[in-house]
Amino acid sequence: MSIPARDPALSTLPTETVWFVEVVGDAQAGSITAFNTLFEYYNPRICTYLARMVGNDEEGRDLAQETFIKVWRALPRMNDQLHFDTWLYRIATNTAIDHLRRRKFPWPLWKSFAEQEAFGPVITAGPEEQVEEAELVKLALAQLSPQYRACLLLQHVEGFTQHEIASALSLSEKSISIYINRGCEQFRQAYKHLTSGKDATKDPTKRRRSTQ
Amino acid sequence: MKNSMLVPCVNWAEKLAVSNPDDLSYSQRVALNEHLASCSTCATAHANHQVIRMRISSLPAVEPLANLPYELLADAERSITRKERVTCLLSSIFAWLKSLPVAFTHFLQRVDYVSDNQYCYALRDDSGFLLWKYKKSNVFFSSLAVKDGVTYVTPFDAQVFLLGSRLRPIGNSFLWR
């Protein structure tokens, strides 16, 4: 049995990478099975990334579906199979940004703790603290600009290098570095503001002082 | 209000937020660690970045879609096919237009002939297929040739004929305006 000839450029790459490139190549050629393999691998990450980008889990899932349909359509025109992931995240990020532009209310999550208190007190006890912490982080993320948010999520959650983020967002590496720094600072300020707001609403003496 | 923003050293500010080890070379990492040991502001800023990274990365994952929406992919595929179909249709229209006489398409016209009867002229192709017909009128052919009972005109006269007829296309045939 003859062994099919491989692209000589791939011979220097690790076996997993070669396999991955071949799967992407098959998906490009129209193989649903290959595309399903890519979908199963990336779908959980893309869903989470998009949910964090738009601040809503359900919308994140819908956008993930939209992203994969766009990817399926655009796959035949993709050139660089080795960097499929950055290309995929570029499509996902653009989908999220388009969605944010279309949305009438920019941030459904963008409510201060004081506003949330108006709808019901936040109970913090035991494991619920973790839920509360997650909500705080989501709220703080929601206050960043989409570009900063994308940079922070790609770096801290997806583990991308700054070069990969630059490629995914079609920006220069220098800009990414600046965006991450500014994004971190904005996140820190927003988180601090939210926690102080929360403390104020929890502590009646502080609330009284703030209203005087 | 007190401004709590830290101002790290200019040369190191960008490197403090780096969390992926591939973003810095080995020597840069060593130099960064040495600097962090000697500069408390940068060390605090670096620690802040690490806390932010930890907070963001510890967010729970979102439960993903159950499976690939095949029917949507099929729709996407169909829309590509539709595009291709439009392209094919356009190319066939261009091919058809190319085959039409020069009066409509500006392409060279093949040699046609006009048959004459009492009431109308008919322009047919070499195989006798009816291309045009025209009510008998004041159409003037400068170069008529009769062969086996059929009147032939030059391509030029055929063009004049077509221009004068003010025909408009309907489907694959042409009707009077």
In a domain, B30, yes or no: yes
Q: Are B110 and B170 contained in the same domain?
A: yes
Q: Would you say the ipTM is above 0.85?
A: no
In a domain, B84, yes or no: no
Residues 6+ apart with CB under 8 A from B41: B6, B7, B8, B9
The domain segmentation of chain A, as residue ranges, is: 12-108, 109-212
Cα angle vertex A65, ends A60, A67, to 5°?
90
pLDDT digits (tens, 9 = 90+) for A176-195: 988 998 898 899 889 988 88
Q: Are A61 and B62 in contact (CB < 8 Å)?
A: yes
In a domain, B70, yes or no: no
State residue A206's pLDDT score.
47
Q: Are A52 and B65 in contact (CB < 8 Å)?
A: no
Which residue's structure tokens are 């941030």?
A: A107
Domain A109-212 has CATH 3.60.15.10: no
State residue B170's pLDDT score.
35
Residue in A65, A155, A156 nearest the CB of B65: A65
Burial of residue A144, with CB atoms counted within 10 A of its CB: 0-12 exposed, 13-18 middle, 19 or more buried: buried
Higher pLDDT, A172 or B119: A172
The tokens for B94 are 């261009």
Q: Is B139 helix (H, G, I), strand (E, B) or coil?
A: coil
CA distance A62 to B137: 68
Number of domains in chain B: 2
In a domain, B107, yes or no: yes
pLDDT digits (tens, 9 = 90+) for A54-77: 988 889 988 998 899 889 888 888
Residue in B22, B62, B80 nearest the CB of A51: B62
Give A120 to chain B, closest Cα distance, Å. Answer: 23
Q: Which of residues 107-126 of A touch B (CB under 8 A)?
A: none
Contacts of B76 in chain A (CB under 8 A): 69, 72-73
pLDDT digits (tens, 9 = 90+) for B27-64: 888 888 889 889 988 888 888 888 888 889 888 888 88
Task: Give me the helices (H) in A123-202, please.
Answer: 128-142, 146-156, 162-169, 173-202
Q: Which domain holds residue B116?
A: 102-175
Would you call A151 an interface residue with chain B, using a CB distance cutoff of 8 Å? no
Q: Are B23 and A134 in contact (CB < 8 Å)?
A: no
Domain A12-108 has CATH 1.10.1740.10: yes
In a domain, B2, yes or no: no
Q: What is the pTM of this model?
A: 0.62
Residue in B20, B69, B79 nearest the CB of A155: B20
In a domain, B81, yes or no: no
Q: Are B168 and B108 contained in the same domain?
A: yes
